[in-house]
Amino acid sequence: MNLESPKNSELDNKTQSDFDDIDISQVLYSIKRRKRFIFSISSFIFILISLYTGYQRIFRPTYIGSFKLLISDPISNNGQKRTQIGGEGVFESVARNTTDNDIPTLRQFLKSPLVINEVSKATKNVDTPSIISNLSINTIGKRASNSKGIIKVSLTSRNKKEGLKLLKSISDTYLELALVQKQKRLSDGLEFLNNQSPALQKRKNDLEDQLARFRIDNLLLEPSAEGLDLKNRENFLDNSISNIKTEINKLKNVRKEIEFGRLSATGFQEATGSKGDGLVISGSDNSIFEEVLEIESELAKVRLIYKETAPNVIMLESKLSKFKPILKKQQLNYVDTALKLNEGKLINFEKQKSELSSIFMKQPLLIKKYNSIEEKLEIAKQNLAGLNSAKEKFQLEMAQESVPWRIIAPPVFESSPIQPNVQRNIILGFFGGIFIGLIAGLIRDRMDYVFRNVRDLEESLNVPLLGHIPFIDFFVKVREEGKLLLEEINQNEDIKSKENSYQRFFYQEAFRNIFTSIRYLSADTNIKKIIITSSIPAEGKSLVNILLSKTLAEMGKRILLIDADLRKPQIHKRLGINNFEGLSNILTENKSDWKKYIKKVKDFKGWDVITAGIRPPDPTRLLSSKKMINFSEELTKSEEYDYVIFDTPPVLGLSDAILVSENCDGLILLISLGRVNRNAPKDSLKRIASNNIQVLGAITNSVAKDSERNASNSYGYGYGKYGYGYQYGYHSYDTSAAYTYYNDGDLKEDTESIPFLIKIRIYISQEIRNLLRWIDQ
């Protein structure tokens, strides 16, 4: 048998469908849906924490006591750090074996068994581990770096009197310990200082002798001062050499300008400075230079007045041209002479610098050696002075015998217990209960991810709700035992009882309401051909189609019920009609008259049925054929029936319902409360919408008494404990159920082969589900 898989792969993946589409609105809706469950869990947690807090407060309260110790003197310099090199602070810190208050180490030491054992011996009724576990030592302030000189010792106890006694014993032990440790530290420190004194004195004397021999050997008193003088002389020579090199470059540039004839007398004067910087022009040479300067000056003035062709201009230019060769030769001689003079000076200065550098190269080594000896001597002096000062201080402190620590806040226990903290626990219980309740509610919603009532369904699905079918006890046997539906109804009606009257009234009224809703939908458009199907198998669609057809027939409507489930037809079984010929014959035979396949329902004048017929090898191909379209058009044109109802396989997993719906006026989706995963109807509606099929609405179906109870609470009118349905369905959403259902026949539980332990587990699981449902309600 060929079974067509869903078009959308998401329909086959429960996890993806359940979790990938979660958004904040769905979470909020889940919280709203499980508000009673959340409230119950939150209340339980809150009450549990409150009772526990009350018990602890009355029978097991915990008190706290404390005292404060000043462990460093904030006024004297004893508590200050010594940072000077070679000063007494270094020797004092080394001798005391500490450079600062190491609070973490001190805290661990004061809580160690070595110290607490003394307290335990004094009290005799409290063991050391108990004291350590209830003892805490911290600095004052919010940060660990605050008030390091003060520590707060706290002790918790269930007996204030015994706790105060123990706390006083701890304070006395700490003070005695501090005094003993101080005396021991001073004694050890003084011994250390005395051992260091001879070595320091000898080193100082050796360094003084070494410095004296250095001065005699090198004929120096202060090598640093002499080295500075040599450096200044070297800097002077560097500046002189730099100036001479600049002057030489300048003269070379002037000579090039003279050779190319681009430098006049005025330009030569400007290039070499006033009267030639570094050049001496005298005698007849100077007179020619001055004459040329006067001619150039006069020519510049005349050009401002006359044109170039004027006689005055021509005369001056002619006169100037006679002097230029002579002037050029003199200028070159002057420049060459100046270059030789400056080059001689440069050689002389560089020679002096070389000699000075050879002398200066030896000076740094002398200075380095001298400074090294001098620095060592200074450190030795400071060390010796610091050592002597520290020895005097240690001797003075040992003579005083004062306790180094002070109790600035005496031991005292608070009157009110610190544990349990009623306010904190109440707040924790309130918010913790809400948080746990929300988590439990969301988990519960995921475990029970089905529609529990009509209102829940209306808020989740954007489709009209056409009616609700209640749970009816005697219809359970119709499904489980395969009995004929109409015979069971007649037998049940023959039994005169109040209970049967209620059941008959409720299911009849439910289907009349459904018909009323369908009739209102026909106000604008004529609705004649209808499909009533479900999302997955075993939601009761075949029984609903039969009961709706029966109800409409009883109301005087002409009804044609067509079994379009060519894979596993059920209509003929429920009505006791043969299935030798039917819809499959209409779709396979050539030019067959569909009316000859109509079968009458006994005792119902206006109710006809077309069964499915012989099961074809490929139902999908038949339902999508041209003959199916023609058959549907003939039904539309026919005036013999008011309504034509198709019974088809479920929407998910198979394409049969979609193919039949394309030839009908609309589709009604049957949804079982308390059985079908919420995503199944949603995905069914998405698939229907993607094929442009009109959805007329939804019908809810109670398949168990608990689902009926939930539905009746929110539908507007109640049905008590009675209703229609059957005890069969799928708790999980898996489209493969359609394949299993249509391949393996009726799914029936084989309770005989289930092991005993599994039966127990199933029973316990069922009871837990019943409890959770009771909490939900």
Domain parsing of the chain, residue ranges: 63-211+401-413, 223-376, 448-742+752-776
Q: Using the Cα atoms of residue 226, residue 227, residue 232 and residue 237 in order, give the sign of their dihedral.
A: positive
CATH architecture of 63-211+401-413: 2-Layer Sandwich (3.30)
- pLDDT of amino acid 222: 67
- pTM of the predicted protein model: 0.51
Q: Alpha-carbon distance 240 to 246, whole Å?
A: 10
Q: How far is CA 32 from CA 37, 154, 421, 452, in A?
A: 10, 48, 33, 13
Residue 750 DSSP SS3: coil
Tracing tokens 């302030």 back to the chain, one arrives at 141
Burial class of 236 by CB neighbour count within 10 A (0 to 12, 13 to 18, 19+): middle
**Helices assigned H by DSSP within 589-650:** 619-623, 626-637
- Phi, psi angles (nearest 5°) of residue 772: -65, -40
- Phi, psi angles (nearest 5°) of residue 712: -65, -25
Which tokens belong to 487?
A: 């015979």
Residues contacting 425, CB < 8 A, separation 6+? 49, 50, 52, 53
Q: At what angle do helices 485-494 and 541-554 cross, to 10 degrees?
A: 60
Half-sphere exposure of 501 (CA within 13 A, CB side): 3
Half-sphere exposure of 15 (CA within 13 A, CB side): 0
Which tokens belong to 423?
A: 């306010």
- pLDDT of amino acid 65: 93
Burial class of 213 by CB neighbour count within 10 A (0 to 12, 13 to 18, 19+): exposed
> Residue 474's beta-bridge partner residues?
none
Neighbours of 23 (CB within 10 A): 8
Long-range contact pairs involving 210-219 (C-beta distance under 8 Å, separation at least 24) = 210/373, 211/370, 211/373, 211/374, 211/377, 214/369, 214/370, 214/373, 218/366
Residues contacting 391, CB < 8 A, separation 6+? 190, 193, 194, 197
Asked whether 687 and 444 are in contact (CB, 8 A), the reply is no
Q: What DSSP string describes 696-737? A: EEEEEEE-SHHHHHHHHHHHSS--TT-B---S---SS--THH
- pLDDT of amino acid 481: 56
Asked whether 343 and 203 are in contact (CB, 8 A), the reply is no
Q: Alpha-carbon distance 366 to 211, whole Å?
A: 12
- pLDDT of amino acid 328: 72
Furthest-apart CA pair in the chain: how many Å? 163
How many residues are present in the chain? 777
SS3 content of the chain, % helix, strand, coil (to 5): 60, 10, 30
- pLDDT of amino acid 154: 92
| Cα end-to-end span (Å), the chain | 45
Asked whether 530 and 665 are in contact (CB, 8 A), the reply is yes
Asked whether 255 and 336 are in contact (CB, 8 A), the reply is yes
CATH superfamily of 448-742+752-776: P-loop containing nucleotide triphosphate hydrolases (3.40.50.300)
Burial class of 366 by CB neighbour count within 10 A (0 to 12, 13 to 18, 19+): middle
Over the chain (777 residues), the average pLDDT of each successive run of 10 is 40 42 71 83 92 90 91 61 48 56 82 86 79 88 65 90 90 87 78 79 81 73 68 80 85 78 64 50 58 74 76 74 72 80 84 74 71 81 80 73 82 89 90 90 76 76 86 65 66 58 75 88 81 87 90 91 91 88 88 86 89 90 91 89 92 89 91 83 90 90 59 38 34 54 51 66 71 63
Q: What DSSP string describes 318-367? A: HHHHHHHHHHHHHHHHHHHHHHHHHHHHHHHHHHHHHHHHHHHHHHHHHH
- pLDDT of amino acid 430: 92
- pLDDT of amino acid 609: 95
Asked whether 11 and 17 are in contact (CB, 8 A), the reply is yes
Which tokens belong to 580?
A: 């030798």
Which element (helix H / strand E) includes 409? strand 406-413
∠ CA 467-472-474, nearest 5°, is: 145
Q: Using the Cα atoms of residue 477, residue 480, residue 484 and residue 486 in order, give the sign of their dihedral.
A: positive
Tracing tokens 């069964």 back to the chain, one arrives at 611
